[in-house]
């Protein structure tokens, strides 16, 4: 690992930006949209250690209830279940690991980062970090997450120390590093840290499947890692290959499918990551069946319906897409008008309905309780949409609004460019 650490730093120093690494690295998040860490046992173990790595059936049931609540955005119930899991098995990492994921997911939800369009925007990977170490996370949130992770890591390491060849123990320790990778990438935009933690997760889960080849749940992280590294630009892939980091994009997709089809506990998690992969690869036709399955299973998760609306729009089913957006705006349980209207605006922009798109973006800026970062991005997207629609004077006013606000990612850079000359779509966009 020392060789890998030094090699990564060498590669990092040779690049002037995170953009080459970041888009695929972000997928190292074990869950970005609405899923939880795959913190379950791979199967029953015959180990005689005092704290078995494999969870007993009754605690798997409790964890499953917490996971279902988390998918349904019911954070209070999820916290109750995961706390019970920790209290009933205090020396096992599963409780703290799931509580850490809960803290992470709730933070992403509140800051409107549970949306795939954010992670496909190049600006997310550009400048605008508030420190060289990445974006700061609210102190209380970050402390709660890291306290749980420290406990989970210590407990998982003890399992491995007592039984180095127990695939369940290796799995849990790998899950710790996988969750750290996801948190660093999505909450803090610390992409190199995400890559390092993802590499460690991959290594441990590879060891687990060598010991138990039918441990299909472990293929979630293995497949994701292979996809991520295999998606790096050619010369970057060559550089990291020199230090032993290799991946295969197509193999990664196959492994994710294996986890989604055969996994005992992580089928939904693998489906979510396949969904992210399909969206990134421009394959909405592959994403739609996964969304339909998740929507039926977790009806209270309006984010699934929001994602489905965007996917239908990419498939040319604009009418069906608009119906979902409009129904979400009427749904009082979907308490996120800013996010819904923002996604609605993006869908309209894809269809080149630029005036209507701008209207949705502007409404985001006026929505009660709108997330400040999303408001800044909405001003920018309103200006760009107005430029594309030929309304230059109105576009300039939106760009000025962006410059009057705190910088988010590269919002000021894009707004400054917009003031100098009208925004134009990149070739192939839309």
DSSP percent split of the chain into helix, strand, coil, nearest 5: 70, 0, 30
Give SS3 for 114.
coil
394: phi then psi, degrees, rounded to nearest 5 = -70, -35
Nearest CA-CA partner of 197 in 153, 236, 250, 166: 153
Residue with tokens 């990564």: 8
For 6-10, 198-202, 240-244, which range has the lowest pLDDT when averaged over its residues?
A: 6-10
| Percent of the chain topping pLDDT 70 | 80
Average pLDDT over residues 37-63: 67
Local confidence band at 194 (pLDDT 50, 70, 90 cut-offs): confident
Burial zone of 187 (CB within 10 Å; 0-12 exposed, 13-18 middle, 19+ buried) = buried
DSSP H stretches of helix in 351-406: 354-366, 372-388, 392-403
90-101 pLDDT, tens digit per residue, is 999 999 999 999
Looking at residue 113, its pLDDT comes to 74
How do residues 201-239 score in pLDDT, each as one tens digit? 999 999 999 999 999 999 998 998 888 888 877 766 666
**Tokens at residue 23, please?**
């888009």
Q: What is the pTM of this model?
A: 0.81
CA atoms within 13 A on the CB side of 95: 17
Give the up-direction half-sphere exposure of residue 19: CA atoms within 13 A in the CB hemisphere: 10
For 366, what's the count of Cα atoms within 13 Å in the CB-facing half-sphere? 7
Count the neighbouring beta carbons within 10 Å of the beta carbon of residue 90: 12
At residue 230, the pLDDT reads 84
Helices and strands counted in the chain (H then E) = 21, 0
- The dihedrals phi and psi of 130, each to the nearest 5 degrees, come to -85, 0
Q: What is the DSSP letter of 252?
A: H
Cα 280 to chain center, whole Å? 12
| Tens-digit pLDDT profile for residues 323-335 | 999 999 999 888 8
pLDDT at 126: 47
Place of tokens 């005092």: 50
357: tokens are 């798109």
* Residue linked to tokens 């594309």: 388
Which residues are CB-neighbours of 316 under 8 A, at least 6 positions away? none
Neighbours of 270 (CB within 10 A): 28
Name residues whose C-beta falls within 8 Å of residue 391's C-beta, 6 or more positions apart in sequence. 355, 358
Q: Distance of CA 401 to CAs 191, 287, 383, 385, Å?
A: 29, 36, 9, 15
- What gap in Å lies between CA 26 and CA 20, rounded to an integer? 11
Lowest mean pLDDT among 19-23, 74-78, 339-343: 19-23
| Contact status, residue 177 vs residue 204, Cβ threshold 8 Å | yes
Average pLDDT along the chain: 83
Q: What are the φ and ψ backbone dihedral angles of 332, each rounded to 5 degrees?
A: -65, -25
Helix segments in 18-90, DSSP class H: 22-26, 57-71, 75-88
* Residues of the chain above pLDDT 90, percent: 60
| pLDDT per residue as tens digits for the range 117-175 | 554 555 544 444 444 445 678 889 999 999 999 999 999 999 999 999 999 999 999 99
More confident residue, 18 or 348: 348
Residue-wise pLDDT for 367-404, tens only, equals 999 999 999 999 999 999 999 999 999 999 999 999 99
């Amino acid at each position: 690992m020392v060789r890998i650490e030094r090699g990564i730093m060498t590669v990092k120093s040779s690049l002037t930006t995170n953009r080459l690494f970041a888009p695929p690295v972000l997928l190292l998040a074990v869950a970005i949209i609405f899923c939880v860490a795959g913190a379950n046992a791979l199967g029953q173990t015959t180990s005689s250690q005092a704290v078995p790595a494999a969870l007993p059936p009754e605690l798997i049931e409790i964890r499953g209830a917490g996971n279902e609540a988390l998918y349904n955005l019911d954070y209070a119930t999820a916290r109750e279940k995961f706390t019970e899991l920790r209290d009933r098995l205090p020396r096992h990492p599963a409780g703290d690991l799931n509580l850490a994921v809960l803290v992470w997911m709730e933070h992403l939800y509140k800051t409107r980062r549970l949306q795939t369009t954010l992670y496909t925007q190049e600006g997310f990977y550009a400048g605008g970090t508030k420190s060289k170490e990445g974006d700061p996370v609210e102190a209380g949130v970050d402390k709660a997450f890291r306290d749980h992770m420290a406990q989970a890591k210590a407990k998982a390491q003890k399992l491995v120390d007592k039984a180095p060849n127990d695939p369940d123990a290796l799995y849990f320790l790998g899950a710790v590093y996988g969750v750290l990778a996801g948190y660093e990438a999505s909450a803090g935009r610390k992409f190199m840290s995400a890559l390092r933690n993802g590499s460690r997760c991959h290594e441990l889960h590879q060891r687990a499947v060598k010991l138990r080849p039918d441990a299909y749940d472990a293929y979630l992280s293995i497949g994701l890692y292979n996809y991520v590294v295999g998606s790096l630009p050619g010369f970057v892939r060559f550089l990291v290959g020199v230090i032993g980091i290799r991946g295969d994009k197509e193999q990664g997709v196959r492994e994710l499918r294996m986890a989604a089809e055969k996994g005992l506990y992580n089928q939904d998690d693998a489906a979510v990551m396949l969904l992210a992969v399909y969206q990134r690869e421009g394959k909405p036709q592959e994403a739609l069946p996964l969304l339909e399955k998740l929507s039926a299973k977790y009806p209270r998760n309006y984010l699934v319906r929001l994602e489905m609306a965007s996917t239908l729009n990419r498939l040319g089913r604009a009418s069906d897409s608009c119906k979902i957006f409009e129904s979400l705006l009427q749904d009082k349980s979907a308490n996120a008008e800013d996010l819904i209207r923002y996604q609605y605006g993006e869908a309209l922009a894809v269809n080149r309905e630029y005036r209507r798109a701008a209207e949705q973006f502007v409404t985001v800026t006026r929505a009660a309780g709108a997330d400040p970062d999303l408001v800044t991005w909405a001003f920018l997207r309103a200006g760009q949409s107005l430029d594309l629609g030929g309304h230059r004077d109105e576009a300039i006013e939106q760009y000025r609004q962006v410059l009057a606000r705190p910088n988010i990612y590269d919002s000021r850079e894009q707004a400054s460019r917009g003031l100098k000359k009208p925004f134009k779509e990149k070739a192939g966009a839309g």
